[in-house]
């Protein structure tokens, strides 16, 4: 292992400025253009300075004794330039010190075992969301709705393939068939590599010889997707129904996205929904109340029921009618109907009616 501090003639506690001064002095002394210069010595000095002048490389060198990328991993930091990896399938030959992207190494390893390297698949279709409005009656009974969603659908001319498969394909010249390209970014902390899908072959590594003229090779076209969705009884407002595979078509036969349908139950002119219960307001005439008449009330099912107000019932409370509310979604039974009474004064009474009421009230007293 090379001692970079010894090569530059500085201590391990040397500052950045001291390292820079030592490098300049030695580089001037051993520069190959000078008569007394030494190209090998100059290269060694430059190598030492490149490591010790970089904070990250210096930290790694001080900790592991090397600035190689594999330092700190099992077996790492020991492989220098021209290390022979011939003992492993797929690593025949020598590395030149630049390990590049780890994907290259792993792909080479698996290729040596007879396993084909991974290729990126085409892009999956996007998920979509749409809003479907229904009436409260439809939410009660359940309903089958037909909707249309504007999105990408599979191209019918090429069956979503994007090309004529019988015409074959050629290896992408941009990514050399890998389906990926590696981009290098230089930052304050050093150089980083980022692997991205190849835009030329759309991440597959192959270029079809005959592209579909209808979809221009994407395997999909923008159109209206027609969908039938079954709304079950008791569905709630803002409830989401997932339609698997009913979203955007993927590229060149890739998996379709999903469609999420958000249910919006419209407001009703008579009933107000509260969970599985329904609330209805009902005007109540004082005379009918005193005479104990039964009250007729409409129901969400389209029928009518008659209710009797119990004796000493508190009209400030709602009268509960069991089982006349909304179906319980995904379960059995129904919620309740809550009748909210509003007491109304009667019209002007004739003398006979007044006498009858006085007799009733007198008897109650």
Instruction: Please report, for the domain that includes residue 288, its CATH number.
Output: 2.60.260.20
pLDDT of residue 261: 95
DSSP character for 94? B
> Is the predicted pLDDT of residue 42 greater than 50, yes or no?
yes
Q: 200 and 284: one domain?
A: no
* pLDDT category of residue 240 using cuts at 50, 70 and 90: very high
Please list the helix, strand and coil fractions of the chain in percent, rounded to the nearest 5, in that order.
Answer: 25, 30, 50
* pLDDT category of residue 166 using cuts at 50, 70 and 90: confident
Average pLDDT over residues 124-150: 94
Q: 195 and 308: one domain?
A: no
The SS3 of residue 57 is helix
Among 34, 31, 53, 28, CA closest to 42:
31
Phi-psi category of residue 142: left, alpha or beta, with phi > 0 → left and psi -120 to 50 → alpha: left
pLDDT of residue 113: 46
Is 214 a member of any domain? no
Q: Read off the pLDDT of residues 48-75 as tens digits, 9 standing for 90 and up.
A: 888 888 887 888 788 777 766 544 444 4
Spatial separation of the C-alpha atoms in residues 108 and 89, rounded to whole Å: 8
> Is the predicted pLDDT of residue 35 greater than 60, yes or no?
yes
Is 65 a member of any domain? yes
Q: 338 and 260: one domain?
A: no
Is 32 a member of any domain? yes
Q: Cα–chain-centroid distance for residue 356?
A: 73
Last-in-domain residue among 247, 267, 287: 267
* pLDDT category of residue 192 using cuts at 50, 70 and 90: confident
Is 49 a member of any domain? yes
Q: 147 and 258: one domain?
A: yes
> Is the predicted pLDDT of residue 202 greater than 80, yes or no?
no
Average pLDDT over residues 111-138: 74
| Alpha helix ranges (H) inside the chain | 4-8, 16-30, 39-52, 55-64, 102-112, 136-141, 286-291, 351-364
Q: 92 and 147: one domain?
A: no
Q: Read off the pLDDT of residues 326-354 as tens digits, 9 standing for 90 and up.
A: 999 988 899 999 999 988 877 776 777 77
Please name every residue paired with 240 in a beta bridge, in sequence order, or none if there are none. 262
The SS3 of residue 314 is coil
pLDDT of residue 105: 46
CB 58 within 8 A of CB 49: no
Spatial separation of the C-alpha atoms in residues 289 and 278, rounded to whole Å: 23
Q: Cα–chain-centroid distance for residue 23?
A: 52
Is 10 a member of any domain? yes
Question: Percent of the chain at pLDDT above 90?
Answer: 33
Residues 6+ apart with CB under 8 A from 49: 8, 19, 20, 23, 27
Number of domains the chain is built from: 4
Residues 6+ apart with CB under 8 A from 263: 132, 134, 139, 231, 235, 236, 237, 238, 239, 240, 241
Q: 92 and 105: one domain?
A: yes
Q: 8 and 81: one domain?
A: yes
Among 316, 297, 318, CA closest to 306:
297
pLDDT of residue 312: 85
Among 103, 101, 106, CA closest to 191:
101
Instruction: Please report, for the domain that includes residue 33, its CATH number.
Output: 1.10.287.110
Spatial separation of the C-alpha atoms in residues 104 and 344, rounded to whole Å: 85
Q: 148 and 226: one domain?
A: yes
Residues 6+ apart with CB under 8 A from 351: none
Find the domain containing 245 and state its range: 121-161+219-267
* pLDDT category of residue 207 using cuts at 50, 70 and 90: confident
Residues 6+ apart with CB under 8 A from 289: 309, 343
* Residue with the two structure tokens 């007044």: 354
Q: 294 and 330: one domain?
A: yes
Is 12 a member of any domain? yes
DSSP per-residue codes, 107-144: HHHHHHTTPPPP-PPPPPPPPEEEEEEE-HHHHHH-EE
> Is the predicted pLDDT of residue 108 greater than 70, yes or no?
no
């Amino acid at each position: 292992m090379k001692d970079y501090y010894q090569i530059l003639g500085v201590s391990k506690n040397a500052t950045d400025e001291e390292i820079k001064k030592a490098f300049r002095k030695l580089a001037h002394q051993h520069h190959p253009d000078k008569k007394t210069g030494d190209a090998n010595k100059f290269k060694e000095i430059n190598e030492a300075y490149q490591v010790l002048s970089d904070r990250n490389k210096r930290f790694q060198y001080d900790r592991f004794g090397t600035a190689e990328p594999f330092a700190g991993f099992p077996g790492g930091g020991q492989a220098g330039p021209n290390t022979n990896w011939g003992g492993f399938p797929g690593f025949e030959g020598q590395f030149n010190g630049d390990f590049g992207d780890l994907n290259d190494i792993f792909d080479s390893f698996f290729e040596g075992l007879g396993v084909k390297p991974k290729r990126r698949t085409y892009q999956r279709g996007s998920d979509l969301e749409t809003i479907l409005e229904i009436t409260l009656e439809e939410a009660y009974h359940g309903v089958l709705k037909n909707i249309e969603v504007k999105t990408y659908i599979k191209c019918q001319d090429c069956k979503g393939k994007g090309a004529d498969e019988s015409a074959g394909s050629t290896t992408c010249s941009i990514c050399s068939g890998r389906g990926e390209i590696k981009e290098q970014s230089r930052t304050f902390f050093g150089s980083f590599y980022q692997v991205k899908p190849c835009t030329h072959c759309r991440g597959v590594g192959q270029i079809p010889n005959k592209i579909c003229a209808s979809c221009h090779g994407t395997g999909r076209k923008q159109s209206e997707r027609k969908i039938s969705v079954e709304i079950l009884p008791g569905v709630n407002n803002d409830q989401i129904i997932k339609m698997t595979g009913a979203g955007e078509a993927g590229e060149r036969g890739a998996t379709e996205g999903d469609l999420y349908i958000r249910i919006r139950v419209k407001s009703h002119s008579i009933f107000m929904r509260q969970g599985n219960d329904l609330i209805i307001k009902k005007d109540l005439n004082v005379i009918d109340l005193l005479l104990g008449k039964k009250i007729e009330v409409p129901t969400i099912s389209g029928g009518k029921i008659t209710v009797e107000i119990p004796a000493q019932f508190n009209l400030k409370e709602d009268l509960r009618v069991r089982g006349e509310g909304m179906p319980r979604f995904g379960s059995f039974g129904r919620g309740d109907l809550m009748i909210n009474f509003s007491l109304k004064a009667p019209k002007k009474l004739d003398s006979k009616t007044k006498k009858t009421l006085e007799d009733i009230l007198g008897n109650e007293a």
